[in-house]
Amino acid sequence: MVESKNEVENPFDKFAAGLREVQSEVAQLSELDEMERTYSIRLIDSIKLLQSQIDVAIPLHVNLLSTYQSNLKTAFLVSEGVVVLTDKDGTTLSLPLTQFKPQDILAVVQDATPALREIISEKRKLVGGRVDILERILKDMKKAGSSMKQSKRDAMDASEDDLIRSSLTNE
């Protein structure tokens, strides 16, 4: 029995198929890397916007920062998306989140979000309370102004009535 060309597996074809598969995986990985960078930048921009509303340093759990945790004592997320790291020797390093690896960016954002939520909520309550007070004061001032205008009108009307009466009595 003679085998046809189609039935015989060519080692080169198998190699070429494997190479195409690897190339496809690399293309997908490249696309995912670009998406990860883009999403990380968007996430950093969002966290910067949120933090700009409160301008407070947020303490971070140093064990979550995989790249820097070996000798870290403290870590804080401060304004403009900067992380301030202090090691056990007291050396301080300030790094923008944009210089962190994506997994560390994600860890920082996840760690800081509950504190940001709480601080922003408290600030909203404080500002809301002040707005309520200002509204009541303005309302009272408006009433007082209306009362003063009415008193002035009443006084002018009374003065006009007195002038009319005096002119009638003089005639």
In a domain, 127, yes or no: yes
In a domain, 6, yes or no: no
Q: Domain range for residue 120?
A: 11-158
- Total domains in the fold of the chain: 1
In a domain, 163, yes or no: no
State whether the Cα torsion 113-115-118-120 is positive or negative.
Answer: negative
In a domain, 164, yes or no: no
In a domain, 131, yes or no: yes
In a domain, 166, yes or no: no
Alpha-carbon span 43 to 54, nearest angstrom = 17
Q: What is the pLDDT of residues 88-147, one digit of tens each?
A: 899 999 999 999 999 999 999 999 999 999 999 999 999 999 999 999 999 988 888 777
In a domain, 92, yes or no: yes
**Model confidence at 1: pLDDT above 50:** no
Q: What is the pLDDT of residues 22-73, one digit of tens each?
A: 999 999 999 999 999 999 999 999 999 988 888 899 999 988 887 766 788 9
